[in-house]
Amino acid sequence: KSKVTINTQDDNDIIIDNDGVDYVTEQLLNNLVDNLGVGYQFGGTTKDGFDCSGLVYTTFKKFDIDLPRASSSMATIGEKVSTNNAEKGDLIFFATAGGKRITHVGMITEVNDNEVLFVHSSTSAGVIVSSLSETYYKNTFVQINKVL
């Protein structure tokens, strides 16, 4: 007899390969990706709209992990790592307002070869996945922190 299976994936799904990723990191990533397409809202912490730190803060809070609310404060948590040592689940920080002050945060979803992908809430497009190789993010990149 053949078995009936349900296809729960479609061409629009973003599939994250979670080999070697611990359970908490996997769940954090799944929750972040579930918010793709949600719009940007300054100070937002709900599906009505997220700002970058609100997205990360709210996602971690679901798993009883307390992070500071602001991206600049989040950047003081955990251990700084180089891009060569970045892994899924690490937080990635940017200075997007000019100067060196951290003003933007995302969470790394994938690292392969020389590319680092991360999910974040951008002011122009809401919750999206971007690449550190994009000129804007390459030019504003500050650091990566391992918080888990």
Rg, Å, the chain Cα set: 16
**Residue 104 a catalytic site member:** yes
C-alpha dist (Å) from residue 44 to 31, 41, 62, 86, 123: 16, 5, 15, 27, 11
> Quick one: tokens of 109?
């979803």
Catalytic residue among 89, 106, 120, 142: 120
Catalytic residue among 94, 104, 106, 130: 104
**Residue 17 a catalytic site member:** no
| H helices present in the chain, as ranges | 23-33, 52-61, 71-74, 135-140
> Quick one: tokens of 95?
């200075």
**Residue 52 a catalytic site member:** yes
Catalytic residue among 52, 67, 75, 132: 52
The DSSP bridge partners found for residue 146 are: 79
Specify burial of residue 137 (Cβ count, 10 A radius: 0-12, 13-18, 19+).
Answer: buried
Residues involved in catalysis: 52, 104, 120
